[in-house]
Amino acid sequence: MIPEDHPRYRSLVMRERIADAALKGIVAMEGVGSHGRGEAFDYLIGEKTTESALLAEKTAAALFLNAKKPVISVNGNTAALAAKEIADLQKATGAAVEVNLFHRTEERVEKITSLLEDEGVTVLKGEFERLLPLSHDRALCLREGIYSCDVILVPLEDGDRCSALVDMGKTVITIDLNPLSRTAKTATLTIVDEITRAIPNITEACGRLDSDEIKKLIRSIDNKYFLNSAVNEIMGNLTNAMD
Ligand code: ATP
Ligand code: MG
């Protein structure tokens, strides 16, 4: 048991969730490494939602509310950390939820689907086809889901896949604590925040944006600004740490 008064309680709980999910075959072993990279960047960002990340989260809500066919793509790490948060976001946006894995096996798809359903997510099902311009199983997705969506949230994503979705003309929102990653640089909108802090903020914003605010937020999307703000935040924290 992790003591609740531990200064890094939340981070340790998340790490334990990833470890448990890896033992159950929900998170791939490679996903444990990805989580570690996220933890390191969260440490540098100060384990908090920055002002610019909060604006990115509001902007993500605007994109969801303005979408005709929004989709949330879920992988093992996202399901292990944020299944409940995804259920709430789905209710607020009406988005379809599709399981899409980098290290794909049918068994993992089934385990992740059950975990999501246990937390109240409605998971899109059907025949997976090779529809994305990528080699091997990474191309697999559902025609009625990712293939035909206009707006897609791909948290904790791989750079190639993010880029393929952008090339298909989709509006791609990612959540990635590393502002230097290929994913962060390629997406239409990057939220540099920890996934379990980011998703509830998007859900909350969905409940209070009016149509003028939605238009204004979408008009002023500047992903470079969000990435530069995150890098500046990290640089400021590193400089302060040396004082
Ligand atoms: P690239 O985008 O450059 O191709 P990658 O996708 O290969 O990099 P991964 O480590 O596979 O790199 O991707 C996972 C990304 O998700 C990392 O950039 C990591 O910082 C981020 N990440 C991991 N855990 C979390 C989390 N809990 N919340 C937000 N971001 C996270
Ligand atoms: Mg990435």
Per-residue pLDDT averaged across 39-65, rounded? Answer: 97
Q: Quote the tokens at residue 140.
A: 């697999």
Q: What ipTM goes with this model?
A: 0.97
15 carries a ligand binding annotation: yes
Domains and CATH numbers, the chain: 51-239 (3.40.50.12640)
pTM (predicted TM-score): 0.97
Mean of the per-residue pLDDT values for the chain? 96
Nearest residue by C-alpha to atom 25 in ligand 1: 38
Instruction: Give 64-78 pLDDT, tens digit per residue.
Output: 999 999 999 999 999
Per-residue pLDDT averaged across 173-178, rounded? Answer: 98
* Residues in Cβ contact with 227 at an 8 Å cutoff, skipping those fewer than 6 apart: 179, 184, 185, 190, 192
Alpha carbons 84 and 198: distance in angstroms, whole number: 13
| Least confident piece of the model among 100-104, 126-130, 229-233 | 100-104
178 lines ligand 1 (CB under 6 A): yes
Burial class (CB within 10 angstroms; exposed 0-12, middle 13-18, buried 19+) of 224: exposed
Kind of pairing between the strands at 70-74 and 171-175: unpaired
Q: Which of 11, 37, 186, 227 to mutate to test the pocket of ligand 1 (most atoms within 8 A of CB)?
A: 37
Using the atom order of ligand 1, give the atom closest to the CA of residue 157. Answer: 6
* pLDDT > 90? residue 3: no
102 lines ligand 1 (CB under 6 A): no
Per-residue pLDDT averaged across 53-70, rounded? Answer: 98
Question: Which residues have CB less than 5 Å away from ligand 2 (the ion)?
Answer: 181, 183
Percent of the chain with pLDDT over 70: 100
190 lines ligand 1 (CB under 6 A): no
Per-residue pLDDT averaged across 104-123, rounded? Answer: 97
Identify the bridge partners of residue 189 per DSSP, sorted by sequence position: 173
Alpha carbons 156 and 38: distance in angstroms, whole number: 9
- Buried b / exposed e over 62-101, threshold 16 CB at 10 Å, is bbbbbbeebbbbbbbbbbbbbbbbbbbbbebbebbbbbbb
Instruction: Give 194-235 pLDDT, tens digit per residue.
Output: 999 999 999 999 999 999 999 999 999 999 999 999 999 999
